[in-house]
């Protein structure tokens, strides 16, 4: 090339790629997909997407064409089933709030149809026009959009729905989208203050996060007899009109108290005292809320009304719940059909009195008054050093299955203890070795 002559600029190969193909290429750098959308996922800056976006100068113009791409796909795909994923970023939420508040200051008479909240997600409106095609949907919506968007009255093919409200404050104060979805099998709802019904008789899994007791009871009315329900963080709204009692046919219930909310104990008590669960087979209570105690009276009230504790409730799982020996014995007395019991203590250890009470009367009375006589598997996790090993091993020995005591069917006991307590077991090694050799006891020692 002659000196002084400028080299002609050639168009980069990637600049020749059509917009819809370019968008599909960059899509693979997005780490948040419907399958990875979980309740604890938080928005984060995706550095991979940022780097890829610098590959071509045309990239800033590509996202503006997304609406046209969606329309083109919907036209070409005809009546094919749709798997929807709309994740509104948290950064955009606060920008959207600012726009909405600024607009409302200038004009208080605008209709909701013309509000910035409604127009900020034009793709959602386009997709809602094809509600009859939705098969699964994952939506993360700001409170302004979720509260102002009018959803179609029916989603006849929808099988799975995961919808999350992104509120300005700690919890949303809007209604969860409500529509008729007769085929809905899986439902996940987060941070909606008020609930709705979907008219489905085949709901077999439900996850409710940051939700009010009243919302929970509304949702639980519709579940199937095989439904597994998981609840994370129940709170009391600022305006509380009470919670209606409900009878739900669910099969398994798990409640996790998270955070440090002061009213969470009150909200849990309200929820438990409003539930009647005649078909419940498994109950899990997990406390991640620091020092707050679990509402024992609310739980006892639910067990009294449900009557499932007499015949159907066979699995009980308490994790880091603060129960006294007396409270725990009162609970177990109401569950004679119990076959599996998992208990992880909070801080204070269970006392010897607790295990002595589980052994029941002496052999001379034929053990007719055994508590939880059908217990087959026990999992205990201790954190304190003062563990009543002697009474614990005596309880396990008293429940070993043999010809003379056929009603004592304990087959497995998994015990986890802190490292500092392991030396205490040396004096009981003979008894422990016998139980280990029989395959009854599995002893684990934690490193803490």
Annotated domain spans of the chain: 11-78, 339-448
Confidence of residue 15 (pLDDT cuts 50, 70, 90): low
What does the block give as tokens for 204? 């077999």
If residue 435 lies in a helix (H) or strand (E), which one and from where to where?
helix 429-437
Best-predicted range by mean pLDDT (16-25, 123-132, 435-444): 123-132
- What are the pLDDT digits (tens) for 381-433? 988 878 888 899 999 888 876 555 555 678 899 998 887 777 777 777 788 88
- For the chain, give the longest Cα–Cα distance: 113
- Please tell me the distance from the alpha carbon of residue 59 to that of residue 136, in angstroms, as a whole number: 29
Q: For the residues 60-72, what does the mean pLDDT come to?
A: 70
What does the block give as tokens for 321? 């719940």
- What are the pLDDT digits (tens) for 143-197? 777 667 788 999 999 999 999 888 766 555 677 788 999 999 999 998 877 777 8
List CB contacts of 15: < 8 A, sequence separation 6 or more: 56, 57, 58
Q: So what's the pLDDT on residue 254? A: 97
Beta carbons of 350 and 388 less than 8 angstroms apart: yes
State the chain's mean pLDDT as an integer.
Answer: 77
- Please tell me the distance from the alpha carbon of residue 209 to that of residue 234, in angstroms, as a whole number: 7
The Cα-based distances of 135 to 206, 384, 421 in angstroms read 17, 49, 54
Beta carbons of 223 and 246 less than 8 angstroms apart: no
The count of residues in the chain is 448
CA-closest candidate to residue 231, choices 286, 156, 149: 286
Q: So what's the pLDDT on residue 150? A: 83
The Cα-based distances of 102 to 106, 108, 402 in angstroms read 7, 11, 77
- Please tell me the distance from the alpha carbon of residue 343 to that of residue 285, in angstroms, as a whole number: 10
What does the block give as tokens for 361? 């009367």
Beta carbons of 193 and 147 less than 8 angstroms apart: no
- Please tell me the distance from the alpha carbon of residue 349 to that of residue 426, in angstroms, as a whole number: 20
Q: So what's the pLDDT on residue 56? A: 65
Tell whether the model's pLDDT for residue 92 goes beyond 70: no
Q: So what's the pLDDT on residue 342? A: 96
Q: So what's the pLDDT on residue 166? A: 81
What does the block give as tokens for 64? 């503006």
pTM score over 0.95: no
The Cα-based distances of 231 to 174, 206, 251, 287 in angstroms read 19, 8, 14, 12
Tell whether the model's pLDDT for residue 30 goes beyond 90: no
- Please tell me the distance from the alpha carbon of residue 410 to that of residue 374, in angstroms, as a whole number: 8
Instruction: Dump strand ranges (E) for 293-439.
Output: 315-319, 340-344, 377-381, 412-417
Q: For the residues 53-78, what does the mean pLDDT come to?
A: 71
If residue 442 lies in a helix (H) or strand (E), which one and from where to where?
strand 441-445
How, if at all, do strands 441-445 and 412-417 pair? parallel
Confidence of residue 110 (pLDDT cuts 50, 70, 90): very low
Task: Determine whether 371 is exposed, middle or buried from the number of CB atoms within 10 Å of its CB (0-12, 13-18, 19+).
Answer: middle
Q: What angle, 0 to 180 degrees and rounded to 10, lies between the N-to-C axes of helices 429-437 and 389-398? A: 30
CA-closest candidate to residue 374, choices 437, 288, 310: 310
Q: So what's the pLDDT on residue 258? A: 80
List CB contacts of 157: < 8 A, sequence separation 6 or more: 81, 132, 133, 134, 135, 183
What 3-state DSSP class applies to 275? strand
Confidence of residue 335 (pLDDT cuts 50, 70, 90): very high
What 3-state DSSP class applies to 229? strand
Beta carbons of 250 and 220 less than 8 angstroms apart: yes
- Please tell me the distance from the alpha carbon of residue 254 to that of residue 228, in angstroms, as a whole number: 8
Partner residues linked to 276 by β-bridges: 247
- Please tell me the distance from the alpha carbon of residue 74 to that of residue 72, in angstroms, as a whole number: 6
- Please tell me the distance from the alpha carbon of residue 311 to that of residue 309, in angstroms, as a whole number: 6
Beta carbons of 210 and 239 less than 8 angstroms apart: no
| 19 or 124: which leads in pLDDT | 124
């Amino acid at each position: 090339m002659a000196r002084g002559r400028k080299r002609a600029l050639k168009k980069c190969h990637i600049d020749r790629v059509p917009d819809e193909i370019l968008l599909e290429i960059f899509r693979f750098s997005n780490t948040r997909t419907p399958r990875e959308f979980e309740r604890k996922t938080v928005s984060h800056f995706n550095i991979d997407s940022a780097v890829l976006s610098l590959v071509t100068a045309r990239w800033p113009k590509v996202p503006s064409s997304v609406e046209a791409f969606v329309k083109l796909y919907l036209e070409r795909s005809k009546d094919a089933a749709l798997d929807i994923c709309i994740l509104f970023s948290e950064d955009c939420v606060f920008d959207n709030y600012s726009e909405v508040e600024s607009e409302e200051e200038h004009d208080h008479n605008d209709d909701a149809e013309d509000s910035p909240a409604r127009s900020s997600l034009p793709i959602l409106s386009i997709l809602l026009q094809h509600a009859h095609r939705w098969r699964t949907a994952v939506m993360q919506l700001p409170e302004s959009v979720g509260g102002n968007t009018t959803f179609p009255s029916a989603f006849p093919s929808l099988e799975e729905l995961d919808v999350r409200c992104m509120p300005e404050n700690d919890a949303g104060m809007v209604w969860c989208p409500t529509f008729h979805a007769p085929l809905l099998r899986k439902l996940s709802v987060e941070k909606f203050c008020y609930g709705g019904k979907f008219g489905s008789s085949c709901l077999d899994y439900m996850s409710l996060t940051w939700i009010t007791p009243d919302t929970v009871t509304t949702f639980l009315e519709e579940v199937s007899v095989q439904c597994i329900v998981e609840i994370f963080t129940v709170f009391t709204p600022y305006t509380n009109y009470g919670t209606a009692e409900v009878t739900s046919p669910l099969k398994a219930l798990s409640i996790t108290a998270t955070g440090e909310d002061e009213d969470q104990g009150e909200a849990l008590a309200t929820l438990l005292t409003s539930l009647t669960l005649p078909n419940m087979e498994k109950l899990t209570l997990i406390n991640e809320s620091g020092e707050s105690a679990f509402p024992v009276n609310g739980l006892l009230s639910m067990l009294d009304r449900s009557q499932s504790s007499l015949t159907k409730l066979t699995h009980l799982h308490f994790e880091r719940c603060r129960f006294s020996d007396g409270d725990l014995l009162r609970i177990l007395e109401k569950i004679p059909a119990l076959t599996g019991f998992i208990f992880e203590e909070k801080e204070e250890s269970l006392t010897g009195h607790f295990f002595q009470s589980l052994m029941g009367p002496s052999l001379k009375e034929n053990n007719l008054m055994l508590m939880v006589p059908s217990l087959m598997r026990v999992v205990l996790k201790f954190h304190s050093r003062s563990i009543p090993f002697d009474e614990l091993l005596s309880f396990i020995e008293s429940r070993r299955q043999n010809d003379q005591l056929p009603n004592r069917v304990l087959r497995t006991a998994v015990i986890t203890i802190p490292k500092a307590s392991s030396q205490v077991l040396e004096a009981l090694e003979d008894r422990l070795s016998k139980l280990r050799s029989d395959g009854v006891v599995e002893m684990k020692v934690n490193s803490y």
